[in-house]
A = this chain, B = another copy of it.
């Protein structure tokens, strides 16, 4: 589902979207307020969880790349990585072509942790959805796909 480039003549679309953006924003805030609670149960801090999910869901990368995507300086990432390495969530793999580089890879333990955290959050959402009609669920599904698409770039 790739976003089609919109040709001229889209009319009042931008104007219509303004209040919707506000409502969508509020909805996201309130949904996430709920989810944050299940997040704490994972027992890992937000910066670590964030860096680790990059490694788990987007694959291995170097420390510098990870620092860039997480928008921190390399020394900060060094420490985050050291802590998570000591806890068995990250493995360092030396780059054979460039000995200065270490590629970081999430371990099975990390994947298990994130899967657990995810399923906690997902069941919170399920619980919230349990009284919806089939049509309402369809609407949410369509919206989820649209949002993914929008967030992709």
Residues of A within 8 A of B (CB): 3-6, 10, 13-14, 16-18, 20-28, 30-35, 118, 121-123, 125-126, 128-134, 136-137, 139-148, 150-152
| Chain B positions within 8 Å of A150 at CB level | 31, 128-129, 132
- Which residue of B33, B35, B129 contacts A20 across the interface (Cβ within 8 Å)? B129
Could you show 7 A-B contacts with beta carbons less than 8 Å apart? A5-B131, A17-B126, A22-B122, A26-B144, A32-B32, A136-B146, A140-B143
Identical copies in the complex: 2
Assess A122 versus B25: contact at CB under 8 Å? Given A32-B32, A133-B13, A140-B143. Answer: yes
Contact of A148 among B21, B30, B143 (CB under 8 A): B30
Q: A17-B137, A122-B25, A137-B16 are in contact. Are A30 and B151 (CB under 8 A)?
A: yes
